[in-house]
Structure 1
Amino acid sequence: MEELVTKFYTAFANHDTETMVSCYHKDVIFEDPAFGVLKGERAKDMWRMLSASQKGKEFKISFSNVESHENRCSANWEAVYHFSKTGRKVHNKISAQFEFKDGLIIKHTDTFNLHKWASQAMGFKGWLIGGTSFFQKKLQKQTNALLDKFEKKY
């Protein structure tokens, strides 16, 4: 399990999206504050979209504390990048939880402080509303609309 999670994040750090998504079970369920719940191919396409949007840009990933507990695994990872809509630098610290089936990741849950992320990405406006459920719902609607658009092209 730890080897698979390490493979996933090493591929992410190397911008190797297809190796990343090969770590996912076909019925994977992914969840995070920005996208909400994504299942199967849509979860894989989210990583493809994020990778494509960062090509040629400063986008650094690091990970640590990969630990397994029975049929689960946890890890911490960090992303440093410039938010495309504002150009503001973001340093997001994420905690990840994984569950496995058939030797692959069946469930992946990322948690991070959305208010802190919004403050970095959008400045004062993000600080003002970034901690509200209204903001989270609006963000998820926007990110999923971008994913819909990506999937039509992909």
Structure 2
Amino acid sequence: MTHPNAALIQRFYEAFQRRDVDAMAACYAPDVTFSDPVFVALHGGEVTDMWRMLVSRAQEFTLAFSHVVADADSGSAHWVASYVFSQTGRTVVNQIDARFVFRDGLIVEHHDRFDLWRWASQALGAKGALLGWTPFVQNAIRAQAKRGLAAFRAKAA
């Protein structure tokens, strides 16, 4: 029998496959926290807005997920997002490991882990391959993403 929190993770990724951000948000607690190598510390509505922004910009988007495991407190999954990065037109295939913490049947913490240098190599081309490992370039990617999310949220308000 599947644990209810494993079913919650599955619902989250099935909604993501459909680009249904409202259904994704319904899996999160209102005070959810999110982090990954680009979006370091998001809280509450910032998390949903990040997904809304990414989904709205993704071209030729596909998502596959596997290895969903969960118990009463925590869970994990592996997922692969394939898309055309809108800023460069380059194809990205990002392999991601996710960890979750649950409270009252909802996701309260979501942490994604992936190789930012590998992502930069795909998304940015030669510049990303040559310099994507450096803290300078990785911090610039984070800063640009933070500005992009702030602009997206301001426009939506």
In structure 2, the gaps of 5 or more residues are: none
| TM-score, normalised by the number of residues in structure 2 | 0.93
Mapped partners of 1:73, 1:132: distance in 2: 31
Amino acid at match of 1:88: R
Structure 1 residue runs without a partner (length 5+): none
Q: Structure 1 counterpart of 2:125, which letter?
A: G
Root-mean-square deviation (CA, aligned residues, Å) is 1.0
Q: Any idea what SS the aligned residue of 1:15 has?
A: coil
In 1, Cα distance between equivalents of 2:57 and 2:122: 19
Deviating beyond 3 angstroms after TM superposition, the runs of 4 or more aligned structure 1 residues are none
SS of alignment partner, residue 58 of structure 1 = strand
Q: CA–CA distance in 1 between the matches of 2:82 and 2:134?
A: 23
Distance in 2, matches of 1:148 and 1:14, equals 25
Of 33, 43, 67 in structure 1, the residue corresponding to residue 37 of structure 2 is 33
Q: Which residue number corresponds to residue 7 of structure 1?
A: 11
Which secondary structure does the structure 2 equivalent of 1:36 belong to?
coil
- Worse overlay, 111-120 or 135-144: 135-144
Indicate the residue corresponding to 2:84 in structure 1: 82
> Which residue of structure 1 lines up, in the alignment, with residue 54 of structure 2?
50
- Give per-residue Cα distances to partners, 1:84-127, cap 9 Å, x unaligned: 11111110000000001121100000000111111111111101
Q: Contact 2:76–2:99 (CA<8 Å) still a contact in 1? A: yes
- Residue of structure 1 aligned with 2:111, choices 106, 109, 112: 109
Counterpart position of 2:99: 97
Give me the identity figure in percent. 45
Q: Distance in 1 between matches of 2:134 and 2:40?
A: 15
